[in-house]
Amino acid sequence: MATRSHHELTELDRRLLDSFQRGFPLDPSPFAAIAEAVGSDEETVLAAYRVLQDEGFVSRIGPVVAPHRAGWSTLAAMAVEPAALEETAARVSAHPAVNHNYEREHRLNLWFVVTAPDEAAGIVALDEIAAETGRKVIDLPLIEAFHIDLGFPIQWN
Amino acid sequence: MTVAARKADPQGLDPVDRRIVVETQGGLPLCPRPYHAVAERLGLAPDDVMRRMRRMLAEGAIRRIAAVPNHYALGYRANGMSVWDVEDARVSEVGRRIAAFDFVSHCYRRPRHAPLWPYNLFAMVHGRTREEVKAHVAAIGAAVDDAARAHDVLFSTRILKKTGLRIAG
Protein backbone atom coordinates (compact mmCIF):
# COMPACT_ATOMS: atom_id res chain seq x y z
CA MET A 1 0.00 0.00 0.00
CA ALA A 2 1.17 3.52 -0.70
CA THR A 3 3.18 5.06 2.07
CA ARG A 4 3.33 8.33 0.15
CA SER A 5 0.53 10.36 -1.27
CA HIS A 6 0.79 10.99 -5.00
CA HIS A 7 1.60 14.60 -4.12
CA GLU A 8 4.92 13.44 -2.71
CA LEU A 9 6.21 11.74 -5.85
CA THR A 10 9.56 12.95 -7.14
CA GLU A 11 10.13 14.45 -10.58
CA LEU A 12 11.73 11.17 -11.65
CA ASP A 13 8.73 9.16 -10.35
CA ARG A 14 6.40 11.38 -12.33
CA ARG A 15 8.31 10.93 -15.54
CA LEU A 16 8.51 7.17 -15.04
CA LEU A 17 4.75 7.08 -14.46
CA ASP A 18 3.69 9.38 -17.27
CA SER A 19 6.13 8.79 -20.11
CA PHE A 20 6.14 5.00 -20.44
CA GLN A 21 2.41 4.28 -20.68
CA ARG A 22 3.46 3.10 -24.11
CA GLY A 23 6.81 2.51 -25.70
CA PHE A 24 8.29 0.72 -22.70
CA PRO A 25 11.52 -0.45 -24.34
CA LEU A 26 11.54 -3.87 -25.96
CA ASP A 27 15.24 -3.98 -25.45
CA PRO A 28 17.50 -6.41 -23.56
CA SER A 29 18.07 -3.76 -20.86
CA PRO A 30 14.90 -1.65 -20.86
CA PHE A 31 15.59 0.13 -17.57
CA ALA A 32 19.00 1.22 -18.82
CA ALA A 33 17.32 2.55 -22.00
CA ILE A 34 14.81 4.49 -19.88
CA ALA A 35 17.61 5.81 -17.68
CA GLU A 36 19.32 7.16 -20.74
CA ALA A 37 16.11 8.83 -21.92
CA VAL A 38 15.44 10.52 -18.57
CA GLY A 39 19.03 11.31 -17.64
CA SER A 40 19.40 8.84 -14.79
CA ASP A 41 21.04 5.46 -14.31
CA GLU A 42 19.70 1.94 -14.56
CA GLU A 43 19.90 1.16 -10.85
CA THR A 44 18.02 4.31 -9.86
CA VAL A 45 15.28 3.74 -12.44
CA LEU A 46 14.82 0.09 -11.49
CA ALA A 47 14.72 0.95 -7.78
CA ALA A 48 12.17 3.72 -8.43
CA TYR A 49 9.89 1.38 -10.41
CA ARG A 50 10.14 -1.27 -7.67
CA VAL A 51 9.03 1.26 -5.07
CA LEU A 52 6.28 2.65 -7.33
CA GLN A 53 4.97 -0.87 -7.89
CA ASP A 54 5.21 -1.81 -4.18
CA GLU A 55 3.37 1.37 -3.26
CA GLY A 56 0.67 0.69 -5.82
CA PHE A 57 1.30 3.65 -8.13
CA VAL A 58 2.29 1.29 -10.94
CA SER A 59 -0.11 -1.63 -11.49
CA ARG A 60 2.37 -3.60 -13.58
CA ILE A 61 4.96 -3.22 -16.30
CA GLY A 62 4.24 -5.37 -19.31
CA PRO A 63 2.22 -5.87 -22.46
CA VAL A 64 -1.35 -4.58 -22.69
CA VAL A 65 -3.24 -7.05 -24.87
CA ALA A 66 -5.85 -6.00 -27.39
CA PRO A 67 -9.40 -7.23 -26.86
CA HIS A 68 -10.51 -9.71 -29.53
CA ARG A 69 -6.97 -10.20 -30.74
CA ALA A 70 -5.60 -12.39 -28.02
CA GLY A 71 -8.94 -13.88 -27.03
CA TRP A 72 -12.59 -12.91 -26.74
CA SER A 73 -14.13 -10.41 -24.34
CA THR A 74 -17.34 -8.52 -23.75
CA LEU A 75 -18.83 -5.94 -21.40
CA ALA A 76 -21.85 -7.23 -19.51
CA ALA A 77 -24.33 -5.52 -17.21
CA MET A 78 -26.91 -6.62 -14.68
CA ALA A 79 -29.68 -4.90 -12.75
CA VAL A 80 -29.54 -6.00 -9.11
CA GLU A 81 -31.68 -4.66 -6.30
CA PRO A 82 -29.52 -3.07 -3.57
CA ALA A 83 -30.27 -5.69 -0.92
CA ALA A 84 -28.89 -8.48 -3.12
CA LEU A 85 -25.99 -6.57 -4.62
CA GLU A 86 -23.27 -7.76 -2.27
CA GLU A 87 -24.03 -11.42 -2.73
CA THR A 88 -24.63 -11.18 -6.47
CA ALA A 89 -21.45 -9.17 -7.03
CA ALA A 90 -19.43 -11.75 -5.12
CA ARG A 91 -20.85 -14.54 -7.27
CA VAL A 92 -20.02 -12.62 -10.45
CA SER A 93 -16.48 -11.81 -9.27
CA ALA A 94 -15.91 -15.44 -8.31
CA HIS A 95 -16.37 -16.56 -11.91
CA PRO A 96 -12.88 -17.05 -13.39
CA ALA A 97 -13.86 -15.44 -16.72
CA VAL A 98 -14.65 -12.11 -14.99
CA ASN A 99 -11.68 -9.76 -14.74
CA HIS A 100 -13.29 -6.38 -14.03
CA ASN A 101 -16.38 -5.90 -11.95
CA TYR A 102 -17.66 -2.44 -11.06
CA GLU A 103 -20.64 -1.18 -9.18
CA ARG A 104 -22.10 1.82 -11.01
CA GLU A 105 -24.91 4.22 -10.28
CA HIS A 106 -27.70 3.20 -12.62
CA ARG A 107 -30.58 0.74 -12.71
CA LEU A 108 -28.02 -1.47 -14.47
CA ASN A 109 -25.70 -1.30 -11.49
CA LEU A 110 -23.26 -4.16 -11.95
CA TRP A 111 -20.85 -3.91 -14.89
CA PHE A 112 -18.26 -6.54 -15.62
CA VAL A 113 -15.87 -7.69 -18.33
CA VAL A 114 -15.90 -11.34 -19.35
CA THR A 115 -12.91 -12.78 -21.20
CA ALA A 116 -12.51 -16.21 -22.76
CA PRO A 117 -10.24 -17.94 -25.27
CA ASP A 118 -12.99 -17.73 -27.91
CA GLU A 119 -16.60 -16.66 -28.40
CA ALA A 120 -18.12 -20.09 -27.72
CA ALA A 121 -16.38 -20.25 -24.33
CA GLY A 122 -17.43 -16.65 -23.63
CA ILE A 123 -21.10 -17.41 -24.26
CA VAL A 124 -20.84 -20.41 -21.93
CA ALA A 125 -19.35 -18.12 -19.24
CA LEU A 126 -22.19 -15.59 -19.64
CA ASP A 127 -24.75 -18.40 -19.35
CA GLU A 128 -23.04 -19.73 -16.23
CA ILE A 129 -23.03 -16.29 -14.61
CA ALA A 130 -26.73 -15.91 -15.40
CA ALA A 131 -27.45 -19.35 -13.90
CA GLU A 132 -25.30 -18.79 -10.80
CA THR A 133 -26.92 -15.43 -10.04
CA GLY A 134 -30.40 -16.19 -11.34
CA ARG A 135 -30.35 -12.93 -13.29
CA LYS A 136 -30.50 -11.70 -16.82
CA VAL A 137 -27.10 -10.71 -18.19
CA ILE A 138 -27.07 -7.91 -20.75
CA ASP A 139 -24.27 -8.62 -23.22
CA LEU A 140 -22.76 -5.50 -24.85
CA PRO A 141 -19.91 -6.71 -27.05
CA LEU A 142 -17.57 -4.29 -28.73
CA ILE A 143 -18.61 -3.42 -32.28
CA GLU A 144 -16.01 -0.79 -33.11
CA ALA A 145 -13.11 0.75 -31.16
CA PHE A 146 -12.33 4.43 -31.70
CA HIS A 147 -9.42 4.61 -29.36
CA ILE A 148 -6.27 2.58 -29.41
CA ASP A 149 -5.78 2.83 -25.64
CA LEU A 150 -2.44 4.55 -25.30
CA GLY A 151 -2.97 5.53 -21.69
CA PHE A 152 -3.67 9.18 -20.94
CA PRO A 153 -1.54 12.05 -19.73
CA ILE A 154 -1.49 12.48 -15.97
CA GLN A 155 -2.22 15.97 -14.63
CA TRP A 156 -0.17 16.43 -11.48
CA ASN A 157 -1.88 19.49 -10.00
CA MET B 1 5.93 -19.31 -38.80
CA THR B 2 4.25 -20.99 -41.71
CA VAL B 3 1.06 -19.64 -43.26
CA ALA B 4 -0.72 -22.85 -42.26
CA ALA B 5 0.27 -22.44 -38.60
CA ARG B 6 -0.88 -18.81 -38.60
CA LYS B 7 -4.22 -19.76 -40.10
CA ALA B 8 -4.80 -22.37 -37.42
CA ASP B 9 -5.25 -19.62 -34.82
CA PRO B 10 -7.86 -16.95 -35.59
CA GLN B 11 -5.99 -14.38 -33.50
CA GLY B 12 -2.74 -14.88 -35.39
CA LEU B 13 -0.91 -16.13 -32.32
CA ASP B 14 0.84 -19.46 -32.28
CA PRO B 15 1.22 -21.47 -29.07
CA VAL B 16 4.64 -19.97 -28.30
CA ASP B 17 3.24 -16.41 -28.73
CA ARG B 18 0.45 -17.30 -26.33
CA ARG B 19 2.86 -18.63 -23.73
CA ILE B 20 4.81 -15.39 -23.93
CA VAL B 21 1.67 -13.27 -23.49
CA VAL B 22 0.40 -15.42 -20.62
CA GLU B 23 3.80 -15.23 -18.90
CA THR B 24 4.18 -11.44 -19.25
CA GLN B 25 0.67 -9.93 -19.12
CA GLY B 26 0.61 -9.88 -15.33
CA GLY B 27 3.87 -7.94 -15.35
CA LEU B 28 7.50 -8.37 -16.31
CA PRO B 29 9.94 -9.15 -13.51
CA LEU B 30 11.62 -5.97 -12.28
CA CYS B 31 15.21 -6.94 -12.96
CA PRO B 32 17.83 -5.49 -15.31
CA ARG B 33 17.09 -7.97 -18.13
CA PRO B 34 13.39 -8.85 -17.77
CA TYR B 35 12.95 -10.34 -21.25
CA HIS B 36 15.91 -12.66 -20.59
CA ALA B 37 14.25 -13.74 -17.33
CA VAL B 38 11.00 -14.48 -19.19
CA ALA B 39 12.90 -16.39 -21.87
CA GLU B 40 14.62 -18.50 -19.25
CA ARG B 41 11.33 -19.38 -17.55
CA LEU B 42 9.82 -20.40 -20.88
CA GLY B 43 12.89 -22.20 -22.17
CA LEU B 44 13.20 -19.88 -25.16
CA ALA B 45 15.99 -17.74 -26.57
CA PRO B 46 15.79 -14.09 -25.38
CA ASP B 47 16.01 -12.87 -28.98
CA ASP B 48 13.08 -15.06 -29.92
CA VAL B 49 10.97 -13.64 -27.07
CA MET B 50 11.74 -10.05 -28.05
CA ARG B 51 11.29 -10.72 -31.76
CA ARG B 52 7.89 -12.32 -31.18
CA MET B 53 6.77 -9.51 -28.88
CA ARG B 54 7.88 -6.97 -31.46
CA ARG B 55 5.82 -8.79 -34.09
CA MET B 56 2.73 -8.99 -31.86
CA LEU B 57 3.11 -5.27 -31.18
CA ALA B 58 3.39 -4.48 -34.89
CA GLU B 59 0.37 -6.66 -35.67
CA GLY B 60 -1.70 -5.24 -32.84
CA ALA B 61 -2.22 -8.34 -30.67
CA ILE B 62 -0.18 -6.43 -28.09
CA ARG B 63 -1.39 -2.83 -28.04
CA ARG B 64 1.50 -1.40 -26.13
CA ILE B 65 4.13 -2.33 -23.63
CA ALA B 66 3.62 -0.10 -20.67
CA ALA B 67 4.42 0.87 -17.16
CA VAL B 68 0.69 0.90 -16.36
CA PRO B 69 -0.08 3.60 -13.80
CA ASN B 70 -2.74 2.96 -11.19
CA HIS B 71 -4.73 6.09 -11.90
CA TYR B 72 -6.81 5.60 -8.79
CA ALA B 73 -3.72 5.73 -6.58
CA LEU B 74 -2.61 8.85 -8.47
CA GLY B 75 -5.72 10.69 -7.40
CA TYR B 76 -8.03 9.87 -10.30
CA ARG B 77 -10.84 8.81 -8.01
CA ALA B 78 -13.73 9.61 -10.30
CA ASN B 79 -14.19 7.33 -13.26
CA GLY B 80 -17.30 8.01 -15.25
CA MET B 81 -18.59 5.81 -18.02
CA SER B 82 -20.24 8.29 -20.35
CA VAL B 83 -22.76 6.72 -22.69
CA TRP B 84 -24.33 8.27 -25.75
CA ASP B 85 -27.24 7.50 -28.03
CA VAL B 86 -25.96 8.48 -31.46
CA GLU B 87 -27.73 7.82 -34.73
CA ASP B 88 -26.13 4.81 -36.41
CA ALA B 89 -25.10 6.69 -39.53
CA ARG B 90 -22.97 9.11 -37.49
CA VAL B 91 -21.60 6.88 -34.76
CA SER B 92 -18.17 6.28 -36.33
CA GLU B 93 -17.55 9.95 -36.97
CA VAL B 94 -18.73 10.92 -33.47
CA GLY B 95 -16.74 8.07 -31.89
CA ARG B 96 -13.53 9.29 -33.49
CA ARG B 97 -14.23 12.83 -32.32
CA ILE B 98 -14.84 11.74 -28.72
CA ALA B 99 -11.75 9.48 -28.71
CA ALA B 100 -9.59 12.51 -29.48
CA PHE B 101 -10.17 14.04 -26.02
CA ASP B 102 -7.16 13.22 -23.87
CA PHE B 103 -9.27 12.56 -20.75
CA VAL B 104 -11.03 9.71 -22.60
CA SER B 105 -9.19 6.40 -22.13
CA HIS B 106 -11.50 4.14 -24.13
CA CYS B 107 -14.22 4.86 -26.68
CA TYR B 108 -16.22 1.96 -28.07
CA ARG B 109 -19.37 1.36 -30.08
CA ARG B 110 -21.56 -1.32 -28.50
CA PRO B 111 -25.10 -2.54 -29.26
CA ARG B 112 -28.17 -0.91 -27.75
CA HIS B 113 -30.39 -3.10 -25.60
CA ALA B 114 -33.81 -1.46 -25.80
CA PRO B 115 -35.72 -0.45 -23.80
CA LEU B 116 -33.39 -0.77 -20.82
CA TRP B 117 -30.27 0.46 -22.57
CA PRO B 118 -30.63 2.98 -25.43
CA TYR B 119 -26.93 3.93 -25.69
CA ASN B 120 -24.58 2.77 -28.44
CA LEU B 121 -21.39 4.72 -27.76
CA PHE B 122 -19.27 4.38 -24.61
CA ALA B 123 -16.48 6.76 -23.58
CA MET B 124 -14.58 6.24 -20.33
CA VAL B 125 -13.83 9.62 -18.76
CA HIS B 126 -11.26 10.09 -15.99
CA GLY B 127 -10.94 12.87 -13.48
CA ARG B 128 -9.95 13.59 -9.92
CA THR B 129 -13.46 14.53 -8.85
CA ARG B 130 -17.00 13.98 -10.08
CA GLU B 131 -17.21 17.67 -10.91
CA GLU B 132 -14.15 17.36 -13.14
CA VAL B 133 -15.66 14.34 -14.89
CA LYS B 134 -18.97 16.15 -15.36
CA ALA B 135 -17.15 19.11 -16.89
CA HIS B 136 -15.36 16.72 -19.27
CA VAL B 137 -18.66 15.10 -20.23
CA ALA B 138 -20.15 18.56 -20.87
CA ALA B 139 -17.20 19.31 -23.16
CA ILE B 140 -17.90 16.12 -25.08
CA GLY B 141 -21.59 17.08 -25.24
CA ALA B 142 -20.71 20.45 -26.74
CA ALA B 143 -18.42 18.82 -29.30
CA VAL B 144 -20.93 16.21 -30.47
CA ASP B 145 -23.76 18.75 -30.43
CA ASP B 146 -26.94 17.41 -32.07
CA ALA B 147 -25.48 14.04 -33.07
CA ALA B 148 -26.34 12.55 -29.65
CA ARG B 149 -30.03 12.25 -28.79
CA ALA B 150 -29.38 11.40 -25.16
CA HIS B 151 -26.52 10.67 -22.84
CA ASP B 152 -25.79 9.65 -19.29
CA VAL B 153 -22.73 9.20 -17.11
CA LEU B 154 -22.41 6.21 -14.81
CA PHE B 155 -20.00 6.73 -11.95
CA SER B 156 -18.40 3.70 -10.39
CA THR B 157 -19.11 3.49 -6.70
CA ARG B 158 -16.93 0.46 -6.09
CA ILE B 159 -14.29 -1.56 -7.89
CA LEU B 160 -15.22 -5.12 -6.98
CA LYS B 161 -12.62 -6.91 -9.07
CA LYS B 162 -9.86 -5.70 -11.34
CA THR B 163 -7.11 -7.80 -12.83
CA GLY B 164 -6.52 -6.18 -16.23
CA LEU B 165 -7.49 -7.75 -19.52
CA ARG B 166 -5.91 -11.17 -19.72
CA ILE B 167 -5.89 -14.00 -22.12
CA ALA B 168 -6.50 -17.43 -20.74
CA GLY B 169 -3.48 -19.69 -20.43
Is the CB of residue A61 less than 8 Å from the CB of residue B27?
yes
Looking at every residue in chain B, the average pLDDT score rounds to 87
Residues B99 and B149 both lie in one domain:
yes
Is the CB of residue A48 less than 8 Å from the CB of residue A12?
yes
| CA B153/CA B140 separation, integer angstroms | 12
Residues B91 and B139 both lie in one domain:
yes
pLDDT in the model for residue A146: 86
Amino acid making up residue A115: T
Q: Do A59 and B102 touch (CB under 8 A)?
A: no
pLDDT of B23 over the 90 cut: yes
pLDDT in the model for residue B2: 38
Q: Encode burial over B40-64: b for 16+ CB neighbours within 10 A, e otherwise.
A: eebebeeeebbebbeebbeeebbbb
Identify the CA nearest to A142 among candidates B139, B124, B169, B70: B124
Residues B60 and B101 both lie in one domain:
no
Q: Establish if B60 touches chain A: CB-CB under 8 angstroms.
A: yes
Instruction: Provide, as residue numbers in chain B, all residues whose Cβ is less than 8 Å from the Cβ of A98.
Output: 161
pLDDT in the model for residue B3: 41
CATH code at position B19: 1.10.10.10
pLDDT in the model for residue B151: 93
Q: Residue B113 falls within a domain, yes or no? A: yes
pLDDT of B166 over the 60 cut: no
Q: Which of A24, A104, A140 sits opposite B111 (nearest CB)?
A: A140
- What pLDDT band is residue B6 in, cutting at 50, 70 and 90? very low
Identify the CA nearest to B65 among candidates B48, B50, B46, B43: B50
Could you count the other beta carbons within 10 Å of the beta carbon of residue B71?
A: 21
Could you count the other beta carbons within 10 Å of the beta carbon of residue B161?
A: 17
Residues B105 and B134 both lie in one domain:
yes
Number of domains, chain B: 2
Residues B85 and B144 both lie in one domain:
yes
Amino acid making up residue B152: D
| Nearest-CA distance A129 → chain B (Å) | 15
Mean pLDDT lowest for which of A118-127, B108-117, B153-162? B153-162
Q: Establish if B93 touches chain A: CB-CB under 8 angstroms.
A: no
The stretch B104-131 carries a mean pLDDT of 93
Which domain, by its residues, includes B60?
14-68
Amino acid making up residue B41: R
The torsion angle over the Cα atoms of residues A78, A79, A81 and A83, rounded to 10 degrees, is: 20
Q: What is the fold, at CATH topology level, of the domain defined by A72-140? A: Alpha-Beta Plaits (3.30.70)
Q: Do A53 and B95 touch (CB under 8 A)?
A: no
Please, which residues have CB within 8 angstroms of residue A56's CB and are 6 or more apart in sequence?
A1, A2, B70, B73
Q: Residue B93 falls within a domain, yes or no? A: yes
**Strand boundaries in chain B, DSSP class E:** 62-69, 78-86, 104-109, 121-127, 148-162
Residues B149 and B91 both lie in one domain:
yes
The torsion angle over the Cα atoms of residues B92, B94, B96 and B100, rounded to 10 degrees, is: -170
- Count of CB pairs separated by less than 8 Å, A with B: 256
pLDDT of B9 over the 60 cut: no
Instruction: Provide, as residue numbers in chain A, all residues whose Cβ is less than 8 Å from the Cβ of B36.
Output: 28
Identify the CA nearest to A120 among candidates A138, A101, A97, A137: A97
| Nearest-CA distance B143 → chain A (Å) | 16
Q: Which of B32, B33, B157 sits opposite A104 (nearest CB)?
A: B157
Looking at every residue in chain A, the average pLDDT score rounds to 90
pLDDT of B58 over the 90 cut: yes
Q: Which of A57, A79, A92 sits opposite B69 (nearest CB)?
A: A57
Q: Residue B1 falls within a domain, yes or no? A: no
Q: Residue B3 falls within a domain, yes or no? A: no
The stretch B108-130 carries a mean pLDDT of 93
pLDDT in the model for residue B4: 38
In chain A, what are the domain boundaries?
8-54, 72-140
